Amino acid sequence: MRIIEDDLSGPQIRALLEAHFAGMLASSPPGSCHFLDFDGLNAADVTFWSVWDGDSLAGCGALKELSPEYGEIKSMRTHSDHLRKGVGAVMLEHIIATAKARGYQQLSLETGSTPDFDAAHGLYLRYGFEYCPPFGDYVEDPFSRFMTLAI
């Protein structure tokens, strides 16, 4: 698998993100969905990557800088054709390595709380993330789980 910094202009990545947005809205009420739209993912403080298996888009993920020492994982998604092939782990390892290289001391994320997100929770826990209170502008929400990793 190869990871590239992506400008979100290709039809495959746009389709995967549209599926990501729809999936988030299907699992949680709109006010409890905190995904970044296309403009948000193209913001100066966000780096967005796609994961490819040959010519096939396998997944994506992003890293948002909250401060010079603190990053947030955004838009982790595996394409449905590539589930259970390690795509999420490859992307997460890349994000953690990038955060370390930038000198971040902490990496956090917000994800859903319904059973649809159990696999994501398991992935983050395997990499040492722990559940934590809301961070940044987030507030307690029964549809959200917050996780953090000291790096």
Q: What is the mean pLDDT of residues 120-139?
A: 95
Per-residue pLDDT reduced to its tens digit, 48-107? 999 999 999 999 999 999 999 999 999 998 998 998 899 999 999 999 999 999 999 999
36 — alpha (psi -120 to 50), left (phi > 0) or beta? Answer: beta
pLDDT tier at 142 (50, 70, 90 boundaries)? very high
Question: Is residue 117 pLDDT above 90, yes or no?
Answer: no
Q: What pLDDT score was predicted for residue 25?
A: 65
Per-residue pLDDT reduced to its tens digit, 6-18? 999 999 999 998 8
Q: What CATH number has the domain spanning 2-150?
A: 3.40.630.30
Q: What pLDDT score was predicted for residue 115?
A: 87
What's the token pair of residue 66? Answer: 């909250």
Q: What pLDDT score was predicted for residue 26?
A: 72
Residue that is written with structure tokens 């100066």 in the block = 44
64 — alpha (psi -120 to 50), left (phi > 0) or beta? Answer: beta
Q: What is the mean pLDDT of residues 134-143?
A: 93
Tell me the C-alpha to C-alpha distance, in Å, between residue 54 and each of 33, 51, 58, 142. 32, 10, 9, 39
Q: What pLDDT score was predicted for residue 35?
A: 76
Q: What pLDDT score was predicted for residue 99?
A: 98
Tell me the C-alpha to C-alpha distance, in Å, between residue 2 and each of 48, 60, 64, 72, 77. 14, 11, 21, 22, 15
Domain residue ranges in the chain:
2-150
For the chain, helix (H) and strand (E) counts, in that order, are 4, 7
For the chain, the average pLDDT equals: 92
Q: What pLDDT score was predicted for residue 146?
A: 96
